[in-house]
Amino acid sequence: MKAYKDLSKEELLSLKAELEATYEDAKGKGLKLDMSRGKPGASQLDMGMALLDTLNSGSDMKTVDGMDVRNYGGLDGITEAKQLMADLMGVKPENVIVCGNASLQIMYDTVSRSVTHGVMGSTPWCKLDKVKFLCPAPGYDRHFAITQHFGIEMITVPMTPQGPDMDMVERLVAEDETIKGIWCVPKYSNPQGYSYSEETVKRFAALKPAAKDFRIFWDNAYAIHHLYDDRQDEILDILSECEKAGNPDMVYEFSSTSKVSFSGAGIAAIASSQGNLADMKKSLTIQTIGFNKVNQLQHARYFKNIDGLKAHMRKHADLLRPKFQTVLSILDKELGGLEIGTWTNPNGGYFISFQALDGCAKAIVAKCKEAGMVLTNAGATYPYGVDPQDSNIRIAPSFPTPEEMAQATELFVLCVKLVSVEKLLENK
């Protein structure tokens, strides 16, 4: 297949007319497709319905160590839930606090607490003239939304298949004490599906920040979210690596069962050093007497242990894998060799990252929307919603059915082709 850039102006004009006719046909179909967010599909949610039968009015409501989950107390979370979440993250249970239903809320609270009360005795960020965060990009839009909400200046750090550009990270944190944190999705990153290499994790653990209250916000959202049995990424435990490097307090790690059990009704946890957790509890004891221990017990009894979690995740993978393979096969078939886009082929997580020709992402997303398909806004994967190259598009295959996914991807490649031809004609 001939690359589009090698076509003559006449060939491009002929192709444009052909693609426009096909696009008009697609618009006439009245499609309503949603690939905007990484939501589990209905079939995935149906798999966990037995979780709701784990506890009933006749159940023993006491934990393994005798706590009645219907009553007050248990700020850290119940013992069996702490063990479950510790095993999910690959850390020790004594380094875990099990909170409410969403890791995003823990991240928000952790930033908010740093702004109003500081970190382990340091000056509250609200009293500083300038506070900055490093933001590996493409990245997770909701991370960027938190820091933007608090008026924190965001600095884009380029992502590589091994993780963030660590030369840049090391240099910036060492020379600028106004840099207080960095957002990280270390495993099957959102949106590219990259996993941080051993070297990257070790370099994170060995950082020498100018700010003593600098923290790594390690959002391990996809810790057990593999797509394949024989292609599974593994990453080093950042907590133990930080301890070895003499930086035990430098990381907050977050995780949840939002894409394991029920989104919005799972359990979420933070893992960190004893010093960080003690600092966090000063506010937590005022904020709450304890989180939802009934839900924690329900999850612990249903999944039992890490093996139960992994067995459940294999069922998720069986439902997700065909959707990812559908997208990837259509991208390969329709766009391979045209040199108008590249895309990732992740081993896990919830997204495929598509890199269009520079200056084309917004137009592609707009064309898709006009024809009945909603994608995440172009630019959302960058701080302030601004992709300097206007080229990155996040594809979320999880929510549509496999049939809808094929239909959506066919429409997507049509829009990529049409916008790319228009862009190339501008330059002819």
pLDDT at residue 255 in the model: 98
pLDDT at residue 355 in the model: 98
Structure tokens at 18: 């052909």
The yes-or-no verdict on residue 237 having pLDDT over 90 is yes
The yes-or-no verdict on residue 337 having pLDDT over 90 is yes
Q: Which residues contact 330 (CB under 8 A, 6 or more apart)?
A: 406, 409, 410, 413
Fold match flag (4-44+310-426 vs 61-304): no
What CATH number labels 61-304?
Answer: 3.40.640.10
75-104: pLDDT as tens digits: 999 999 999 999 999 999 999 999 999 999
Round to whole Å and give the CA distance between 80 and 311: 18
The yes-or-no verdict on residue 428 having pLDDT over 80 is no
pLDDT at residue 413 in the model: 98
User: How high does pLDDT run on average in the chain?
Assistant: 97
The yes-or-no verdict on residue 16 having pLDDT over 80 is yes
Q: Which residues contact 53 (CB under 8 A, 6 or more apart)?
A: none
Confidence tier at 72 by pLDDT (50, 70, 90): very high
267-296: pLDDT as tens digits: 999 999 999 999 999 999 999 999 999 999
Asked if 111 contacts 100 with a C-beta cutoff of 8 angstroms, the reply is no
| Pick from 254, 169, 178: nearest CA to 212 | 178
The average pLDDT across 154-182 equals: 98
The average pLDDT across 1-10 equals: 92
Q: Which residues contact 311 (CB under 8 A, 6 or more apart)?
A: none
What residue ranges do the domains of the chain occupy?
4-44+310-426, 61-304
Count the neighbouring beta carbons within 10 Å of the beta carbon of residue 423: 18
Cis before residue 209, ω within 30 degrees of 0? no
| Pick from 368, 369, 364: nearest CA to 340 | 364
The average pLDDT across 253-260 equals: 97
The average pLDDT across 202-219 equals: 98
Reduced to 3 states (helix: H, G, I; strand: E, B; else coil), residue 160 is strand
pLDDT at residue 31 in the model: 85
Reduced to 3 states (helix: H, G, I; strand: E, B; else coil), residue 219 is strand
| Pick from 373, 358, 353, 359: nearest CA to 414 | 373
Round to whole Å and give the CA distance between 299 and 52: 9
pLDDT at residue 37 in the model: 82
The yes-or-no verdict on residue 315 having pLDDT over 90 is yes
Q: Which residues contact 78 (CB under 8 A, 6 or more apart)?
A: 63, 67, 69, 98, 293, 296, 297, 300
pLDDT at residue 36 in the model: 83
What CATH number labels 4-44+310-426?
Answer: 3.90.1150.10
The average pLDDT across 60-87 equals: 97
100-146: pLDDT as tens digits: 999 999 999 999 999 999 999 999 999 999 999 999 999 999 999 99
365-387: pLDDT as tens digits: 999 999 999 999 999 999 999 99
Bridge-based pairing state of the strands 251-256 and 215-219:
parallel
10 Å CB burial of residue 208 (0-12, 13-18, 19+) is exposed
Round to whole Å and give the CA distance between 114 and 106: 12
The yes-or-no verdict on residue 402 having pLDDT over 90 is no
Count the neighbouring beta carbons within 10 Å of the beta carbon of residue 329: 12
The yes-or-no verdict on residue 1 having pLDDT over 80 is no
What percentage of the chain has pLDDT greater than the value 70?
A: 100
Distance from the Cα of residue 55 to its chain's centroid: 31
Round to whole Å and give the CA distance between 415 and 279: 51
The average pLDDT across 324-353 equals: 97
The yes-or-no verdict on residue 33 having pLDDT over 90 is no
The average pLDDT across 333-342 equals: 97
Round to whole Å and give the CA distance between 191 and 35: 13
Q: Where are the alpha helices (DSSP H) in 176-266?
A: 198-205, 238-244
To the nearest 10°, report the CA torsion of 187, 188, 190, 192: 130
Expressed in percent and rounded to 5, the helix, strand and coil fractions of the chain are: 45, 15, 40
Asked if 4 contacts 424 with a C-beta cutoff of 8 angstroms, the reply is yes
Confidence tier at 48 by pLDDT (50, 70, 90): very high
The average pLDDT across 172-184 equals: 98
The yes-or-no verdict on residue 38 having pLDDT over 90 is no
Asked if 309 contacts 224 with a C-beta cutoff of 8 angstroms, the reply is yes
Sign of CA dihedral 383, 384, 385, 391: negative
393 bridge partner residues: 354
The yes-or-no verdict on residue 29 having pLDDT over 80 is yes
Confidence tier at 427 by pLDDT (50, 70, 90): confident
